[in-house]
A = this chain, B = another copy of it.
């Protein structure tokens, strides 16, 4: 299939959970490149919660993917043809090259990655967008201080696992909320979290009481819904709540707002949203710091890799069911 391109296009906008019918698999000839362009063979495709927002036709931080367009995605690929002096055949690059096997790029937004620093999929996870999200969201909005308690939801996920591990490095008591025994064991035993709350098998309220006896100073929210509402009941004075995502709500037509938001008033607390792209100019520094922590064994990375671009419609749903651990990636 080296001579054909397989692309996943948005066929129609989903209501609720995206269905197979919302996607179109298109096969076509390999594209040709013009002056200044490169041709990429894509090796890994990042599957992210933000994708659900990108296919809604609503005002957001970036324009929605249009019907008939290739689905937006972060990728790792190899240059297989180049009319651009900055890139040579064989270079490995990361960029926003979409859910497809091959992509043409003018080189803007393409960055070389060095596979000697970490395995390539890690550049879509801990050293990629989710890692940057955790790093900047925690450090700039969460502002962890030694001895504080940090609670993070989606704790076994790509963002949550980074948040918790960096908070440990910063001297916090770290508690994660995750679904199922396996994930809870993973964040405690492998990632070194101080406590875990299994939202699928226990009351989150009771879990927070048990694991956060001194209350919550930072709540890093990836899920929204009831868990956010419950966390709000246990925040401390001057707590910071980082609104990073709301995976529990993305397929809902009507989002559940946090009924307990007046806890912000009582506790003089702050709830603040973040979008990782705002920190792009500092990604380089963050990647160096994160790679150093990885080298020192303080920061571990896990990827959940699914084979085959055609699995995209099903693989995407693992984000909502939680049926994966760590960063979800498609291997092309």
Q: Which A residues fall within an 8 A CB radius of B?
A: 59-61, 224, 229, 243-246, 249, 254-275, 278
Taken together as a complex, chains A and B put the C-alpha atoms of A274 and B274 apart, in Å, by: 21
Q: A268-B275, A271-B271, A273-B268 are in contact. Are A262 and B229 (CB under 8 A)?
A: no
A-B contact pairs, 25 of them (CB 8 A): A59-B266, A61-B265, A224-B262, A229-B257, A243-B261, A243-B262, A243-B264, A246-B262, A249-B262, A256-B257, A257-B257, A257-B259, A258-B261, A261-B261, A261-B271, A262-B273, A264-B271, A264-B273, A265-B274, A266-B273, A267-B273, A268-B272, A268-B273, A268-B278, A270-B272
Taken together as a complex, chains A and B put the C-alpha atoms of A255 and B265 apart, in Å, by: 14
User: CB-CB < 8 A to A261: which residues of B?
Assistant: 243, 255, 257-258, 261, 271
Q: Smallest CB–CB gap between A321 and chain B, Å?
A: 21
User: CB-CB < 8 A to A249: which residues of B?
Assistant: 262
Q: Smallest CB–CB gap between A42 and chain B, Å?
A: 28
The answer to whether A271 and B274 have CB atoms under 8 Å apart is no
Taken together as a complex, chains A and B put the C-alpha atoms of A258 and B229 apart, in Å, by: 11
The answer to whether A61 and B266 have CB atoms under 8 Å apart is yes
Taken together as a complex, chains A and B put the C-alpha atoms of A97 and B269 apart, in Å, by: 29
Q: Smallest CB–CB gap between A282 and chain B, Å?
A: 15
The answer to whether B260 and A255 have CB atoms under 8 Å apart is yes
Q: Smallest CB–CB gap between A219 and chain B, Å?
A: 13
User: CB-CB < 8 A to A245: which residues of B?
Assistant: 265
The answer to whether A270 and B268 have CB atoms under 8 Å apart is no
User: CB-CB < 8 A to A243: which residues of B?
Assistant: 261-262, 264-265
Taken together as a complex, chains A and B put the C-alpha atoms of A246 and B265 apart, in Å, by: 10
